[in-house]
Amino acid sequence: MRPDGPARPSTRSTGSLLVDNIGELVTNTPDGAGGQLSLRRNAALLVEDGEVAWIGPARYAPAADRRIDAEGGAVLPGFVDSHAHLVFAGDRAAEFAARMAGEPYTGGGIRTTVGATRAASDDELRATVRRLRDEAMRQGTTTIEIKSGYGLTVADEARSLRIAAEFTEDTTFLGAHVVPAEYADRPDDYVGLVCGPMLAAAAPHARWIDVFCERGAFDVDHARAILACGQAVGLGVRVHANQLGPGPGVQLGVELGAASVDHCTHLTDADIDALASHRVGCMCPEGLHTTTVATLLPGAEFSTRSPYPDARRLLDAGVTVALATDCNPGSSYTSSMPFCIALAVREMRMTPAEAVWAATAGGAAALRRTDVGRLARGARADLMILDAPSHLHLAYRPGVPLIRQVLHNGVPQCRP
Ligand SMILES: [Zn+2]
């Protein structure tokens, strides 16, 4: 699948379904672009064939085959988690404990997970992805990007993406996560492998290509070469950039027209200028296909006890900001978008409205998707109903399971 044409889901609801008695409906319709939520009160929403068919005043709601009473709870678009590493084996709880006891995070533990992932069976990897995808869904995530990057051989990267594609349309080839131990002395040879046979094996299962552009991972020349190879075979670009220190990743991403640069923990004025100058302030197709989104991953700063990105500076400069989990076994083992919203509000001074927008419409922009992250006629019927009257409670009541019901493609999921 390519950035301009995600496939439609095969699982759809049948018949019509009315959601009413909604306390507050968050729509993210175009007038809410640029980080502002659009809110409606006394609204109802009709689902047909897996899509939103109608939104309007509850008193004018059409008849439907079935009804869900939101009981005064807020209804929001499903979260769009645009950055997750779910295909892996093992965990690194001991590394986390050591880090909390004072050891610094360097990214070197990725190789531990690579060893465990290579040794795992397809079914073991598949079970982990399913468990985490389901865990995320119970917390309101209805779209999730999944990266490879713990195989780092031709066969293991291809199978990671093949398994990821069973669960999402947004699969990302991250063969350039780290240089694996067997290539430690020959990084040029590894870049050749990534651009050659590994990309050829991965591309049929991938929509995106990504590089960890960081000191100790891939330098800017290697990163540019790898991303250009991916673009040449039709993959969209994303970059892990400026996480562990200042660096060239953000500006490289903008230069290449990346959909998103992710982490953005250490930014210079020039980085912010580069992002701001490429921003088009709308969710229209033209805007979506030229904007490079800054995707912030506060779970990583939380779990590595690092300073948080300066979200306010990005927002005040007019940069489009997304929030995502970075769910992975090393630096951010959370699948919870509500947790990331709470961190964004408390630690990064985003308003609750900005954080919820970034976790829904912002994530959709980071994946260049117009069918998710908002609730409007024709959008996917991906939504959540809260056990709370407004979106504010997602940050106001941190750690509380507020998601009462999730609809995915219009299909009610099991209650948590
Ligand atoms: Zn990541």
Across the range 100-111, mean pLDDT stands at 80
Binding residues for N-formimidoyl-L-glutamate: 150, 328, 330
Ligand 1 center–CA 196 separation, angstroms: 23
Ligand 1 center–CA 146 separation, angstroms: 10
pTM of the predicted model as reported, rounded to 2 decimal places = 0.94
Q: Which residue is associated with the tokens 């993210």?
A: 28
Ligand 1 center–CA 44 separation, angstroms: 37
Binding residues for Zn(2+): 83, 85, 240, 326
* Number of CB atoms found within 10 A of residue 59's CB: 8
Binding residues for Fe(3+): 83, 85, 240, 326
State how far Cα 393 lies from the chain centre: 21
How far is 257 from 278, CA to CA, in rounded Å? 9
Ligand 1 center–CA 85 separation, angstroms: 6
Kindly tell me if the per-residue pLDDT of 105 is higher than 90.
Answer: no
Ligand 1 center–CA 297 separation, angstroms: 8
Binding residues for 4-imidazolone-5-propanoate: 92, 150, 177, 243, 331
Ligand 1 center–CA 361 separation, angstroms: 20
pLDDT band at 285 (very low <50, low <70, confident <90, very high): low
Residues 385-416: b if buried by 16+ CB within 10 A, e if exposed: bbbbebbbbbbeebeeebbbbbbbbbbbbeee
Across the range 150-155, mean pLDDT stands at 98
Ligand 1 center–CA 84 separation, angstroms: 6
Ligand 1 center–CA 300 separation, angstroms: 9
Kindly tell me if the per-residue pLDDT of 106 is higher than 80.
Answer: no
Name the residue among 182, 181, 179, 185 with its Cα closest to residue 223. 179
Ligand 1 center–CA 183 separation, angstroms: 21
Is residue 199 a contact partner of residue 174, using CB atoms and an 8 Å limit?
no
Ligand 1 center–CA 214 separation, angstroms: 12
Ligand 1 center–CA 240 separation, angstroms: 6
Ligand 1 center–CA 377 separation, angstroms: 33
Ligand 1 center–CA 177 separation, angstroms: 9
Average pLDDT, the chain: 92
pLDDT of 107 reads: 63
Amino acid letter, 376: A
Kindly tell me if the per-residue pLDDT of 5 is higher than 50.
Answer: no
pLDDT of 286 reads: 55
Q: What percent of the chain has pLDDT over 90?
A: 85
Span 306-363, pLDDT tens digits: 999 999 999 999 999 999 999 999 999 999 999 999 999 999 999 999 999 999 999 9
Ligand 1 center–CA 4 separation, angstroms: 23
192-201, 289-298, 398-407: the lowest-pLDDT one = 289-298
Across the range 57-74, mean pLDDT stands at 96
Ligand 1 center–CA 263 separation, angstroms: 8
In three state form, how does the secondary structure of the chain look?
CCCCCCCCCCCCCCCEEEEECCCEEECCCHHHCCCCCCEECCEEEEEECCEEEEEEEHHHCCCCCEEEECCCCEEEECEEECCECCCCCCCCHHHHHHHHCCCCCCCCCHHHHHHHHHHCCHHHHHHHHHHHHHHHHHCCEEEECEECCCCCCHHHHHHHHHHHCCCCCCEEEEEECCCCHHHCCCHHHHHHHHHHHHHHHHHHHCCEEEEEECCCCECHHHHHHHHHHHHHCCCEEEEEECCCCCCCHHHHHHHCCCCEEEECCCCCHHHHHHHHHCCCCCCCHHHHCCCCEEEECHHHHHHHCCCCCCHHHHHHCCCCEEECCCEECCCECCCCHHHHHHHHHHHHCCCHHHHHHHHHHHHHHHCCCCCCCCCCCCCECCEEEECCCCCCHHHHCCCCCCEEEEEECCEECCCC
Q: What residues contact 193, with CB distance under 8 A and at least 6 apart? A: 154, 175, 183
pLDDT of 411 reads: 95
Question: In the chain, what's the furthest Cα-to-Cα distance?
Answer: 69
Binding residues: 83, 85, 92, 150, 177, 240, 243, 326, 328, 330-331
Ligand 1 center–CA 325 separation, angstroms: 9
